[in-house]
Structure 1
Amino acid sequence: MDPSALPQHQKAATVARALQAEILQGQYGADGQLPTEPELVERFGVARETVRRALQLLKDTGVVASVQGSGTFVRRRPLRTTLRRELPPQGGPADWTDHGSEAWVPLDSSATWSSGRVPIELAESVRLEGEVAVWSCVLGVEEPRVPLQLVRTYIPMHVAAKVAVFDGGAPGGAAVLEHLEATDPALSWSLAVGARMPEPGEAATLSTPIGIPFIQTLRITRQAGAVVEATEYVVSSERFRITHRPDQAPVA
């Protein structure tokens, strides 16, 4: 099909699909360079802005990457690792790969509690309305520094006051759970695994194109039926797949 004969809004998508098909067929090699923008303009008979939009579509889905001053290249995707995950109710995740337990550590030493709100995409599951206390952390490998997972905990303000999180009384979500369990062991947990699209800042942190979804694990803690803690763990679906550990409970 001649892209130049299509409506303007379809031209970029058509060029992108044609280039992606050639990439999948190995025409440019594993990490080869694509034709230049002028060459693509001449080949497809479209405006340069259309070519740029087509290349941006491929970048957003992780198919290609730009190198400043050099051009656009086929992006070598990371090998996907199977992540066997155990999420104990009392603390953070224990993750295993084929290489054994992953010793992921916090990479952001400045992470602290702040006030905020539960994002719209979590509101139906978490059911915490109004202002809440929020803890955010980036986990990964320290040497070399590789961010692999984003963790975000939400707790109601009355729990935040009880645990004195804003006074440095609880360094993270795991400490909140320990405190709650010590004062009232009649807690219940639920775990769910799903997916969501990353925000631009999140995608940049985990070096994931914005068109590739995150795998999301959501733990919700309830006390007398009311949510007192919710923690979201996200990793790139391009880098990981998650499996259960049937010999452990609970798992995610």
Structure 2
Amino acid sequence: MAYEVAAPKYVRLAQTLQARIEDGTYPPGTRVPSENQLVQTFGMSRPTVVRALELLKRDGWLESRQGYGTIVRGQREAVEQKDRRGREALERDESQAAGRLVEVGEVPVPPRMASLLGVPKRGKVLVRRLLIEDEGEPVELASSYFPASLADGTDLAGPAPIQGGLREHLESRRRVRFDHVTERVSARLATKEEGDLLGMAAGDPLLSVLVVAFDASGQALQVTDVLLPADRQELEDTYRLS
């Protein structure tokens, strides 16, 4: 017997709000209801509402304007200017994220990360592992790896959440410049540790979005492995044909 697993609450709310944008309930250029109004209307918690709005902003449906609130951009902008998950992984503010750091420190470099970061196979890398939750339910595990030498003079090795995002922190502290990103999506089975963190059984399927951020010379500065329980995800993209 097959079972369907419902999407997280914030995803369902984002889908509802997107449908209202598409049907004209929230026309382009207008403000969407406030967080308080959305909490009352849909009976969901503020963190769920905030995460749904962040998802719609990431996908280009909404934007924040200083002193005016959250504005509807509309479908054209969503299609043409949609941000990618890699940008979210690089720019996520750990101090504001709906989740917690579960690991920070130097670890033996995983074989796949060694080649990407140019680290000797028996070397070490710094890892920051962030577990994202939605009303207590784990929905994403993002593990960011850095060459250990790159952490000198930064707060990356510290246990406190990084404010403003990992990219901003590195660019300001080390005077490096992130230039471009590659994303690789694959599927694999969860390890016991990953399953324990994500509320899954070892061997359950995962989607892995491997985000590699480079400087202009092609040197990898950061690799983030974003793990998503496969039975809670649906990937969709829209693009124009020229």
TM range (shorter): 0.5 to 0.7
Deviation at 1:213, TM superposition (A): 1.6
Distance 1:157 1:140 in 2: 28
**2:154 is aligned with what amino acid?**
V
- Offset of 1:186 from its aligned partner? 5.5
Counterpart for residue 218 of structure 2: 225
Q: Tell me the SS of whatever aligns to 1:162.
A: coil
**Residue ranges of structure 2 left out of the alignment (5+ in a row):** 12-54, 60-82
Identity of aligned residues (%): 19
Give the number of equivalent residue pairs: 160
Q: Is the 8 A contact 1:104 1:141 kept in 2?
A: no
Alpha-carbon distance in structure 1 between the residues aligned to 2:163 and 2:105: 13
- In the alignment, which residue of structure 1 is the partner of 2:228? 235
Whole-Å separation in 2 of the counterparts to 1:199 and 1:235: 13
Contact 1:173/1:231 (<8 A) preserved: no
Name the residue aligned to 2:197. 205
Does the C-alpha gap of structure 1 residues 188 and 238 become closer, same or farther in structure 2, counting only changes over 3 Å? Answer: same
Letter in 2 for 1:79: A
Q: TM-score, normalised by structure 1?
A: 0.52
The answer to which of 229-238 and 208-217 deviates more is: 208-217
Q: 1:126 to 1:196 in 2, by over 3 A?
A: farther
> Could you report, residue by residue, the CA deviation over 1:107-150 in whole angstroms, capped at 9, with x for unpaired residues?
x3x545201133235444454331111101110113xx101111
Structure 1: give runs of 5+ residues left out of the alignment.
1-22, 25-75, 94-102, 248-252
Aligned residue identity for 2:146:
I
- The separation in 2 between residues aligned to 1:155 and 1:189, in whole angstroms, is 15
Is the CA contact (8 Å cut-off) linking 1:131 and 1:156 kept in structure 2? yes
Tell me which of the two structures has the higher relative contact order, counting C-alpha pairs closer than 8 angstroms and 6 or more residues apart.
1
TM-score of the aligned structures, taking structure 2 as reference length: 0.54
* Equivalent residue, structure 2, for 1:178: 168
1:133 corresponds to which of 120, 126, 131: 126
**Matched residues in 2 for 1:115 and 1:202: separation?**
18
RMSD: 3.3
* SS of 2:153 mapped into structure 1: helix
Deviations 1:16-67 (A, max 9, x none): xxxxxxx46xxxxxxxxxxxxxxxxxxxxxxxxxxxxxxxxxxxxxxxxxxx
